[in-house]
Amino acid sequence: MNFHLDKLLNFPNITVESCSQQTNEVYLKLCLLNEEVSCPHCEKLSSEIHQDRPILIRDLSIFGQTTYLKVPRRQFYCHDCQCYFTEVLSFADKGRCYTQRYEESIYQQVKLSSIEQVSRVEGLSFDRIQGIFKHQYTQKKKQDRKKLNELASMKLDGKKNFAPFMNSH
């Protein structure tokens, strides 16, 4: 739709189809440009869309307005495995209704203030903010473990090499 909006959105292979506004809320309808997705079982590419149901994903606010992305949730069919699978989105974790950058921002805000405070600012319930915080915390632990394993397999000598990764969050 609009080159500038696509650039601001900053997700690869995704374009903003339309933009609408309600009281202090912005809705961006996205269009996924990749026609093929690789099957999680056999990794072969499939372009056969079985279902396409849009979902709302909350993203970082634009100019102080609560922002939602209308994202096509595409289910593909793999002929080789004879199974249906849902496309993995590059910008949101599986089963989450927030972008990764939104969840990261919530995580950092909670660390600086409190769940109650962030809950008020973002207009989300305590439980939701806590849920995002816990999810991010778990993701970060996983990433740390992965980094440590990678480092260990590179056989780096001396414990000091691990320090920056241990204290990065």
Residues that bind Zn ion (CB under 5 A): 39, 41-42, 78, 80-81
Q: Which residues contact 55 (CB under 8 A, 6 or more apart)?
A: 70, 71, 73, 97
* DSSP assignment of 53-103: EEEEEEEEEETTEEEEEEEEEEEEEETTTTEEEEPPPSSS-TT-SB-HHHH
The candidate with the shortest Cα–Cα distance to 84, out of 43, 34, 40, is: 40
Q: Based on CB atoms, which residue is closest to Zn ion, 41 or 142?
A: 41
Q: Based on CB atoms, which residue is closest to Zn ion, 39 or 132?
A: 39
Closest separation between CB of residue 96 and Zn ion, Å?
Answer: 24
Closest separation between CB of residue 82 and Zn ion, Å?
Answer: 8
Closest separation between CB of residue 156 and Zn ion, Å?
Answer: 38
Q: Based on CB atoms, which residue is closest to Zn ion, 37 or 89?
A: 37
